[in-house]
């Protein structure tokens, strides 16, 4: 599959591709490999604690909520917007409750390879003594979204910068090449995704996002991973030897 984007001579590009890639012998069909595409989250949700050898007195906290795959692009767009709203709530609430320079991040990852596999995640660097309290706070913020839904103001605050970014990518060769054209033969639906993404994003309602939050972001579905520093292990001294004398 060959993809080109930019100010180019289309006929010359087609001729060059025909003489090179197009001259290769046909290949067989790509194997489906269904057994290798079976991926799922652990059940029930997990809580894992890890200690690493580090002199840096900071830890990391990560929470995951299983969601769904990226095959349904309408759902994927709505999960992305929901994650942006969660990110905004985390930013406001964490600084309000804890203060300091905490910078939480939230996002959505929906696989278009593994059916049914995707997740919403949140992560934040923490002071080790506050890790447990922070984990509960993040889980409770997401649970409040699940229980009480999204507000109209939150939706617009998340949607407006997203629409600006989407419109800006229309002028980017990188977007057309890597996100659209490079996959258009194997996944022809990406061409339609490119055509309807702005209109679809404009049509998203707070009721749709509230329903997704209720389905996916309950505290009983959250898995947690905490990574904290341990005392640095003693290391053997570095021995330096002089180079041999020149003769």
What does the pLDDT look like over 108-121, one tens digit per residue? 999 988 999 999 99
Is 108 a member of any domain? yes
Is 33 a member of any domain? no
Confidence at residue 186, expressed as pLDDT on a 0 to 100 scale: 86
Is 15 a member of any domain? no
Residue 149 CB contacts under 8 Å (≥ 6 apart), including other chains: 206, 207, 209, 210, 213, 214
Is 10 a member of any domain? no
Is 97 a member of any domain? yes
Check the CA dihedral 30-32-38-39 and report its sign: positive
Number of domain units in the chain = 1
Asked if 54 and 232 count as a contact pair (C-beta separation under 8 A), the reply is yes
Is 121 a member of any domain? yes
Question: Global pTM?
Answer: 0.87
Residue 66 belongs to what domain range?
Answer: 43-230
Strands ordered across the beta sheet of 59-66: 47-53, 223-230, 59-66, 118-126, 105-110
Is 245 a member of any domain? no
- The answer, yes or no, to whether the previous bond of 13 is cis (omega within 30 of 0) is no
Is 185 a member of any domain? yes
Each residue's pLDDT expressed in tens, for the chain with a length of 247 residues: 788 899 999 999 999 999 999 999 988 888 888 888 888 888 889 999 999 998 889 999 999 999 999 999 999 999 999 999 999 999 998 877 777 667 899 999 999 889 999 999 999 999 999 899 999 999 999 999 999 999 999 999 999 999 999 999 999 999 999 999 998 988 999 999 999 999 999 999 999 999 999 999 999 999 999 999 987 665 556 555 555 555 4
CATH of the domain at 164: 3.30.830.10
What does the pLDDT look like over 177-222, one tens digit per residue? 999 999 898 899 999 999 999 999 999 999 999 999 999 999 999 9
């Amino acid at each position: 599959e060959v993809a080109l984007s930019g100010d180019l001579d289309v006929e010359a590009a087609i001729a060059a591709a025909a003489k090179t890639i197009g001259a290769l012998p046909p290949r067989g069909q790509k194997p489906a490999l269904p057994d290798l595409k079976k991926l799922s989250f652990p059940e029930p949700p997990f809580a894992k604690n890890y200690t690493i050898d580090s002199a840096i007195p900071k830890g990391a906290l990560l929470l995951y909520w299983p969601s769904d795959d990226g095959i349904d692009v309408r759902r994927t767009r709505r999960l992305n917007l929901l994650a942006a709203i969660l990110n905004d709530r985390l930013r406001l609430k964490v600084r309000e409750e804890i203060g300091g320079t905490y910078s939480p991040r939230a996002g959505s990852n929906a696989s278009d390879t593994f059916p049914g596999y995707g997740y919403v995640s949140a992560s934040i660097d923490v002071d080790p003594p506050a890790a447990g309290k922070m984990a509960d706070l993040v889980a409770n913020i997401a649970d409040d979204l699940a229980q009480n839904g999204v507000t109209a103001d939150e939706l617009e605050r998340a949607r407006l910068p997203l629409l600006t970014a989407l419109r800006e990518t229309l002028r980017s060769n990188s977007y057309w090449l890597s996100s659209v054209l490079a996959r258009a033969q194997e996944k022809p639906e990406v061409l339609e995704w490119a055509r309807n993404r702005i209109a679809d994003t404009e049509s998203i309602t707070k009721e749709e996002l509230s329903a997704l939050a209720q389905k996916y972001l309950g505290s009983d579905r959250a898995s947690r991973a905490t990574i904290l520093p341990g005392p640095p292990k003693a290391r053997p001294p570095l021995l330096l030897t002089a180079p041999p004398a020149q003769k």
